[in-house]
Amino acid sequence: MKLTLGFSPCPNDTFIFDALVNRKIDTEGLQFEVLLEDVQTLNQWAMEGKLDLTKVSYGALQLMLQHYIVLRSGGALGNGVGPLLISAEPAGPGEDYPSIDDYTIVIPGENTTAHLLFSLAFPKAKKKIFKVFNEIEDFLLNRSHPAGKTAGVIIHENRFTYQKRGLIKLMDLGEYWEKQTGYPIPLGGIVMRKNFSSSLQIKVNTLIRKSIAYAFGNYPLLPPYVIQHAQEMEEAIMRQHIDLYVNDYSLDLGASGRMAVQRFLEIYEQGKKDPTNVNDIFIKI
């Protein structure tokens, strides 16, 4: 049986799925047709129900639950892993964070966790531009655009590179979430189409867990699959990326991980008469 599988080319995703898609583990008769795309594209496809299995942003999860159920393995969730708000210039003397409301904010996709976390911290900020995550640093450094004061929300490997380019952190949006809620930060998870049997869903979840265990078992060796898709990234940055985003929550969300996702849904659905029952969104194991 062949399943379509979408995830990003970032080192954490390729590290997680390498053993699965390259058959370094027994896939028990399953084959995977892989599509590598940025998270905003994957979110859009998930809202359309395009793929059998895909990485998505937890910040957009409510928009795709008509098609998908959430697996418990393969995601990115943890403490100190959230997006950062950065700028080419520090805030001026006497300025505080509410002044960000007057900035033009560059965000890595409208239907993303990064956008939701920014909106929680700055609900009055309205001047937003949406770009692919790896275009944001260049936009902030381009002084010729007419946007005025600008700031950007960065994710993935840009957490490790922005300072080298002279950019400045204004706020850690993940830290803000953790202080406000007490929960780890739910960045992205793996979802699978609801119309598959529960036995197949559990089988795929188990295979992803085995793929991660295989990767951890051979770490710090970087598989060629990770290096191939890391877009000229230094090996030290790849390892920083993996160390930050792949952890015990990637093996299994656990109770605290599921509660963090539930809190995301509650925030997204504030005021809704019939909120989503969180017990219905995860596979039963």
- Residues marked active site are found at 156
Q: Give the span between the Cα atoms of 253 and 15, in whole angstroms.
A: 18
Cis peptide upstream of residue 83 (ω within 30 degrees of 0):
no
Distance from C-alpha of 281 to C-alpha of 277, rounded to nearest angstrom = 7
- What gap in Å lies between CA 40 and CA 156, rounded to an integer? 13
Q: Which residues pair with 4 in a beta bridge?
A: 33
65: DSSP letter: T
Structure-block tokens of residue 32: 């995977």
Q: What values do phi and psi take at 154, rounded to 5?
A: -110, 150
Beta bridge partner(s), residue 78: 185
